[in-house]
Amino acid sequence: MQLARVVGTVVSTVKEPRMRELKLQVLRLLDENGRATGAYQVAVDAVGAGQGDVVLFAGGSSARQTGLTDGKPTDATIMAIVDSWDVHGKVVWSAAAETPS
């Protein structure tokens, strides 16, 4: 899986019939320090992520391994929303620290 931030959504009316009810999000990939790598990915959203959320997505045929995406032509699926992560015991990023309270 990879870390990424939801930066947009994709609206697509004409598409493969099995993809019709799936929500597609535009992701900007992040490195272990929370910085954008420059790479982007469009992914099916299996967890209800919102704009600005940091998420994990699974790629390749693993992206089909959810009830939502089983047998469907997707190669990237958001399967978790990230609360925080740490490197060698030090919190690098957390949603709580990022959201103004």
Residues of the shown chain interacting with other proteins in the complex, contacts defined by CB under 8 A: 1-3, 29, 31-32, 37, 46-48, 56, 58-67, 69, 77, 79-90, 92
Report, in Å, the least distance between residue 93 CB and other proteins. 10
Q: Which is nearer to other proteins, 12 or 37 (CB)?
A: 37
Report, in Å, the least distance between residue 7 CB and other proteins. 18
| Three-state secondary structure string covering the chain | CEEEEEEEEECCCCCCHHHCCCCEEEEEEECCCCCEEEEEEEEEECCCCCCCCEEEEEEHHHHHCCCCCCCCCCCEEEEEECCEEEECCEEEEEHHHHCCC
Report, in Å, the least distance between residue 39 CB and other proteins. 8
